[in-house]
Amino acid sequence: MASEHVEFTKEMREAGYTILVPNMLDFHFSLLEKVLRLNGYNAVVLHNSGPNIMSEGLKYVHNDTCVPALLVIGQFIDALHSGKYDLDKVALAITQTGGGCRASNYIHLLRKALKKAGLSHIPVISVNMSGLEKASGFKITIPLLRQVIASLVYGDCIMHISNQTRPYETHPGETDALIARWNDDLVAQFNRGRGLSRKEMRANLDKIVTDFDNIDRSREKKTRVGVVGEIYVKYSPLGNNGLEAFLRTQDCEYMIPGIMGFALFKIDNRIEDIHLYGGNPFKLAFCKVLFGYVQKMEKMLIDAISAHPNFVAPSPFTHTKSLVKDVIGYGSKMGEGWLLTAEMLELAENGYENIICTQPFGCLPNHICGKGMIRRLTQVHPGINIVPIDYDLSATKVNQENRIRLMLAVAHDAEKKRQQQELLIAQDEAMHEEIQRGCNGCTNCEACGK
> Do 2-140 and 221-258+314-419 come out as alike in CATH topology?
yes
* Res 131: pLDDT: 67
* Res 146: pLDDT: 87
> What contacts 56, CB < 8 A, 6 or more positions away?
73, 74, 75, 77, 78, 81
Q: Are 226 and 352 in contact (CB under 8 A)?
A: yes
pTM metric for this prediction? 0.87
> CA 177, CA 148: separation in Å to the nearest integer?
24
H/E element, 26: helix 26-38
What residue type is 377 in one-letter code?
L
Task: Tell me the Ramachandran region of residue 40: left when phi exceeds 0, alpha when psi lies from -120 to 50, beta otherwise.
Answer: left
* Res 2: pLDDT: 45
Domain covering 2-140: architecture? 3-Layer(aba) Sandwich (3.40)
**For 331, phi and psi rounded to 5 degrees?**
-75, -10
* Res 110: pLDDT: 92
Q: Are 123 and 267 in contact (CB under 8 A)?
A: no
* Res 308: pLDDT: 96
In angstroms, what CA-CA distances link 365 with 66, 141, 197, 370, 373? 12, 31, 37, 8, 11
* Maximal CA-CA distance, the chain: 99
> CA 403, CA 387: separation in Å to the nearest integer?
8
Packing angle between helix 26-38 and helix 142-165, nearest 10 degrees? 160
Burial class (CB in 10 A: 0-12, 13-18, 19+), 257: buried
> CA 68, CA 74: separation in Å to the nearest integer?
10
* Res 442: pLDDT: 59
CB crowding 326-343: b at 16 or more within 10 Å, else e? ebbebebbbbbbbbbbbb
> What contacts 433, CB < 8 A, 6 or more positions away?
none
* Res 340: pLDDT: 95
> What contacts 391, CB < 8 A, 6 or more positions away?
67, 233, 239, 240, 241, 358, 359, 360, 361, 400
CA R_g for the chain: 25
* Res 387: pLDDT: 93
* Res 366: pLDDT: 84
In angstroms, what CA-CA distances link 199 with 114, 196, 203, 394? 45, 8, 6, 50
**Ranges of the chain with pLDDT below 70:** 1-3, 98-103, 130-131, 434-450
* Res 51: pLDDT: 86
Every domain of the chain and the residues it spans: 2-140, 221-258+314-419
Q: Are 256 and 358 in contact (CB under 8 A)?
A: no
> CA 165, CA 256: separation in Å to the nearest integer?
14
* Res 10: pLDDT: 93
Q: Are 168 and 212 in contact (CB under 8 A)?
A: no
Pick the CATH number of 221-258+314-419 from 3.40.1350, 3.40.50, 1.10.530, 1.10.3470: 3.40.50
> CA 46, CA 330: separation in Å to the nearest integer?
35
In angstroms, what CA-CA distances link 201 with 141, 190, 196? 20, 11, 6
Vertex 368 angle, CA 328 and 240, to 5°: 120
Cβ count within 10 A of residue 419: 11
Q: Are 32 and 149 in contact (CB under 8 A)?
A: no
Vertex 300 angle, CA 192 and 138, to 5°: 50
> What contacts 417, CB < 8 A, 6 or more positions away?
none
> CA 176, CA 164: separation in Å to the nearest integer?
12
> CA 326, CA 151: separation in Å to the nearest integer?
34
> CA 235, CA 125: separation in Å to the nearest integer?
22
* Res 403: pLDDT: 92
